Amino acid sequence: MELNDANLQTLTEFLRKTLDPDPTVRRPAEKFLESVEGNQNYPLLLLTLLEKSQDNVIRVCAAVTFKNYIKRNWRIVEEEPNKISNPDRTAIKANIVNLMLSSPEQIQKQLSDAISIIGREDFPQKWPDLLTEMVTRFRSGDFHIINGVLRTAHSLFKRYRHEFKSNELWSEIKLVLDTFALPLTELFKATIELCQTHATDINALKVLFSSLTLISKLFYSLNFQDLPEFFEDNMETWMTNFHGLLTLDNKLLQTDDEEEAGLLELLKSQICDNAALYAQKYDEEFQPYLPRFVTAIWNLLVSTGQEVKYDLLVSNAIQFLASVCERPHYKHLFEDQNTLTSICEKVIVPNMEFRSADEEAFEDNPEEYIRRDLEGSDIDTRRRAACDLVRGLCKFFEGPVTAIFSGYVSSMLAEYAKNPQGNWKHKDAAIYLVTSLASKAQTQKHGITQANELVNLTDFFVNHILPDLKSQNVNEFPVLKADAIKYVMIFRSQLPKEQLLQAIPLLITHLQAESTVQHTYTAHALERLFTMKGPNNTTLVTPAEMAPFTEQLLNNLFKALALPGSAENEYIMKAIMRSFSLLQEAIVPYIPTLIAQLTHKLLLVSKNPSKPHFNHYLFESLCLSVRITCKANPSTVSSFEEALFPVFTEILQNDVQEFLPYLFQVMSLLLELYSGSVPYMALFPHLLQPVLWERTGNIPPLVRLLQAYLEKGSATIASSATDKIPGLLGVFQKLIASKANDHQGFYLLGSIIEHMPPESITQYRKQIFILLFQRLQSSKTTKFIKSFLVFINLYCVKYGAIALHEIFDSIQPKMFGMVLEKIVIPEVQKVSGTVEKKICAVGITKILTECPAMMDTEYTKLWAPLLQALIGLFELPEDDSIPDDEHFIDIEDTPGYQTAFSQLAFAGKKERDPIGDAVGNPRILLAQSLHKLSTACPGRVPSMLSTSLNAEALQFLQGYLQAANVQLV
């Protein structure tokens, strides 16, 4: 694509169409952009547009498109084509920093993200001048530019907060510190001075404070891994200024907005984070500064209001206290009973109250409320921070803290009892306090695993939780109902089983509650209860115990999906999946209705898939319906096809990318359950289209689906679709060339060899082996060798040892001996997996005993070492060593956003044993085969054994012969 006006014009038109709400206009435009993004100059055209277009909407759209293009294509993946030409890469890196710094803020943010994506791949090796180019801009004095640099540096360095320690990371951080730490410190000091100079100029202060917040974030990232020498030497500068900013109160920076945090709050929250980091990780060095930070942060907490805009600040400030109070050598700061009482009274209790803002979120923004309350999202709430502080204090002061709070809990519950209608928030706070007091350790899987002995959970459940669950009107006091449901869920491992069984039917009625939070919590609680383990690895709640409620449970779950706001509620869908899994054949009578509802839902969500978890559980539920019903009655497969195929066809026709990997898995499951002639052969050719195999996420489920076709329909393919065999082998060739997917290629090849009639693939056999040898020469990895060994032994089992010998030697004379000597004998110990080992054992036994060339040619010298290797495979531990240089090869890291392969647990594939019952014990087979060989050429076998086999191996072999009741002659 040339950089000319015509192309700029075309691109502008298509970008405008991608913003069109009408999918018939938008989709083709998106497809067009996707089709041209591989062309040289495409990214440069986008950059030209975002710089020079007269239309602001187009500029922003070009910036977003450019960032997403970089996200998808910048990473170079081994063995995949480089998606951005080298001249384009160079031109982008040469211009992007300048462009970012001179763009308006909306575009600056997108380009800043793009720089950090490029930096993650190229910095420092392939982009050494990035930092110096950025640091020189600090001297410009223009804070629009300086903030652009700081924002970019922040997105570049924030990964240091969660990277694993490694030499590479250390050297990169060292390079950053050498270039960046001093200029950053100078900028910090200069900015603080400017704040004093411009103390009365609100516009200047806004810019300067956003710089200070970014500088504080950078401080956090650069200090996260370890305490750098530079910052230790300059701790006085940083900490004194941080402390000064914490206590600063500039009236001009106070905002009227009650919701949105102002610049002052954002800066102080980040400083609390920085202080907590130092208090936790570098407490010795930080000790001289700690008392004044504790005082400043305490004053901040006592003087800050209840408005939402202070939430982040308050929760970070409380988190600071929480991190300090659980360190043994700060214990003395909290020992005094008065200190504990005032922390409880002034910090913890006020921040546990349910505010009107929380009530609004509960009613009007339930998704966000659930994300914060249930999933513990990154947005720290005041309540969570207060709860962490209670936990921290209980570490050393469990008795006094429990005593102080028990008083509060009793008085709150008494207030509620006086006037439930007016004082229900008191009970909510009491439940929250009990929860935070009682929970010492918690896991996703079991809820609370360790509880405070001083709190009686069962009594509290009976007296205060059960009455709310039993209330006749499920829609009254929804917040308290949600609290009660959550209580059952988090203390499920602590409450006795009879109380849980008492709660289940009550929970089922709460699925009908109008409040989204309430019915979502109910679904989540039921799902968690159904996964609890009872004695002997069964579920705690049995299908028999659920029998009286089965129909109501299924009805209410599906009705809940129809409630406003819950059409794609992932918690409800997960509860449906878990109920199917628990109830097993008890759901069979309801299947026709259930499947109709699930497929209807699938059709709706496929129009615009937006909730990945919901969709995943929906497909899991479909798989369970198929599995459970077909287990009870195998002939029902065809009725599932009638129900599912119209929807599947539509999804395939519309190329709903997110759903294809799921579709292929459900279809594999149906095919694998099939007996009789294979249906939907018409689909088979479409599965070989190269475009499907371009998407990494499709590969595992597509291979499985092709394997199912080969297993069930090989005769049909051989007779009426022979023209498709080259396409099938083309897929194998593509997969075998990739280090990440070669094992999938071998799965496919194994099924071809195992199921296709031999004559249908005779003409291709030699070519298959040539491809494998080419790959062995170009890149030999442990994973490839293991798969290669299993394959050649499978070939030997299927076609015989003579055929294997002949095909090797037809490619190159003496090749058979080379493969045995260089690959089979030294590497077979690496093969893992019961079925894989069995295939190799039977194959090698055949080579030893059914291949004349092994007895009478130059290959004879390999006979004993091969037998020794086979006995090693039987008796020695598996060799799982991997050469250093290929430690990371198997890890498929897909660039950017692609629907990665999401495996469905309930579509699980049984492991296939191609040898099956024909060979029970391969050791016995070896003994019998050696006996047979020795009768054919008497005397040869014992003499080969006594001269070449080591004593230990010989002893094992004697054992096999005895077990098989045979002797060698």
CA distance readout (Å), 799 to 617, 625, 732, 918 = 43, 40, 20, 15
End-to-end CA distance of the chain: 78
Is pLDDT larger for residue 268 or for residue 251? 268
Tally of CB atoms within 10 A around 84: 20
CA distance readout (Å), 69 to 1, 42, 43 = 16, 10, 8
| Mean pLDDT confidence for 67-74 | 94
Give the pLDDT score at 948.
86
* Burial of 577 per CB tally in 10 Å (0-12, 13-18, 19+): buried
Kindly write down the DSSP assignment for every residue of 213-231, as one continuous string. HHHHHHHHHHHHSS--HHH
The helices-and-strands tally (H runs, E runs) of the chain is 49, 2
Handedness of CA 151, 156, 157, 160 (dihedral sign): positive
Q: d(Cα 349, Cα 388) in Å, to the nearest integer?
A: 13
3-state helix, strand, coil in the chain (%, to 5): 75, 0, 20
Tally of CB atoms within 10 A around 613: 14
Kindly write down the DSSP assignment for every residue of 892-929, as one continuous string. ----SS-------GGG-PPPP-SSGGG-S-HHHHHHHH
Write out the two tokens for 174.
């060292």
CA distance readout (Å), 26 to 19, 58, 489 = 7, 15, 44
Give the pLDDT score at 872.
95
DSSP alpha helix (H) spans, 419-495: 420-438, 457-460, 466-470, 478-490
| Mean pLDDT confidence for 586-609 | 95
> pLDDT digit string (tens) for 301-331?
999 989 989 999 999 999 999 999 988 888 8
Write out the two tokens for 269.
């929250």
Give the pLDDT score at 377.
58
Give the pLDDT score at 920.
87
| Mean pLDDT confidence for 710-727 | 89
| Mean pLDDT confidence for 277-288 | 93
The identity of residue 432, as a single letter, is Y
Task: Place 891 in a pLDDT band, splitting at 50, 70 and 90.
Answer: very low
> pLDDT digit string (tens) for 8-65?
999 999 999 999 988 889 989 999 999 999 999 999 999 999 999 999 999 999 999 9
Q: d(Cα 684, Cα 710) in Å, to the nearest integer?
A: 10
* Burial of 2 per CB tally in 10 Å (0-12, 13-18, 19+): exposed
Is cis: bond before 124, omega within 30 of 0? yes
Q: d(Cα 687, Cα 645) in Å, to the nearest integer?
A: 16
Question: Buried b / exposed e across 619-651, counting CB within 10 Å, b at 16+?
Answer: bbbbbbbbbbbbeeeeebbeebbebbbebbeeb
Q: d(Cα 713, Cα 717) in Å, to the nearest integer?
A: 6
Give the pLDDT score at 883.
65
Mean of pLDDT over the chain: 91
Q: Check whether 899 has a pLDDT greater than 60.
A: no
CA distance readout (Å), 242 to 213, 214, 239, 273, 463 = 11, 13, 5, 11, 49
How crowded is the C-beta side of 952, counted as CA atoms within 13 Å?
7
Give the pLDDT score at 722.
84
The identity of residue 112, as a single letter, is S
Give the pLDDT score at 373.
86
CA distance readout (Å), 830 to 21, 817, 823 = 56, 20, 11
* Burial of 424 per CB tally in 10 Å (0-12, 13-18, 19+): middle
Give the pLDDT score at 901.
65
Give the pLDDT score at 378.
54
Q: d(Cα 553, Cα 504) in Å, to the nearest integer?
A: 10
- Contact between 441 and 394 under an 8 Å Cβ cutoff? The reply is no
Percent with pLDDT over 70 in the chain: 96
The identity of residue 429, as a single letter, is A
Write out the two tokens for 638.
């065809």
Count how many residues are written for the chain.
969
Write out the two tokens for 73.
């294509």
> pLDDT digit string (tens) for 774-827?
999 988 899 999 999 999 999 999 999 999 999 999 999 999 999 999 999 999
Give bridge partners of residue 439 from the DSSP assignment.
Answer: 451
Q: Check whether 380 has a pLDDT greater than 80.
A: no
For the entire predicted model, the pTM comes to 0.82
Q: Check whether 452 has a pLDDT greater than 90.
A: no
Write out the two tokens for 175.
């390079």
Give the pLDDT score at 752.
95
Kindly write down the DSSP assignment for every residue of 151-172, as one continuous string. HHHHHHHGGGGTPPP-HHHHHH
Q: Check whether 894 has a pLDDT greater than 50.
A: no
Give the pLDDT score at 253.
85
Write out the two tokens for 332.
């003395």
CA distance readout (Å), 781 to 818, 819, 878, 882 = 18, 16, 17, 9
Q: Write phi, then psi, for 125 (nearest 5 degrees).
A: -55, -50
> pLDDT digit string (tens) for 509-564?
999 999 999 999 999 999 999 999 988 888 999 999 999 999 999 999 999 999 99
Q: Check whether 167 has a pLDDT greater than 70.
A: yes
Q: How far is CA 11 from the centre of its chain?
A: 35
> pLDDT digit string (tens) for 222-248?
999 999 999 999 999 999 999 999 999
- Contact between 789 and 823 under an 8 Å Cβ cutoff? The reply is yes
> pLDDT digit string (tens) for 459-501?
999 999 999 999 999 999 999 999 999 999 999 999 999 999 9
DSSP state of 880: -
Give the pLDDT score at 779.
85
Q: Indicate the helix (H) or strand (E) that contains 270.
A: helix 263-281
- Contact between 161 and 277 under an 8 Å Cβ cutoff? The reply is no
* Burial of 567 per CB tally in 10 Å (0-12, 13-18, 19+): middle
Non-local (6+) Cβ contacts of 305 within 8 A are none
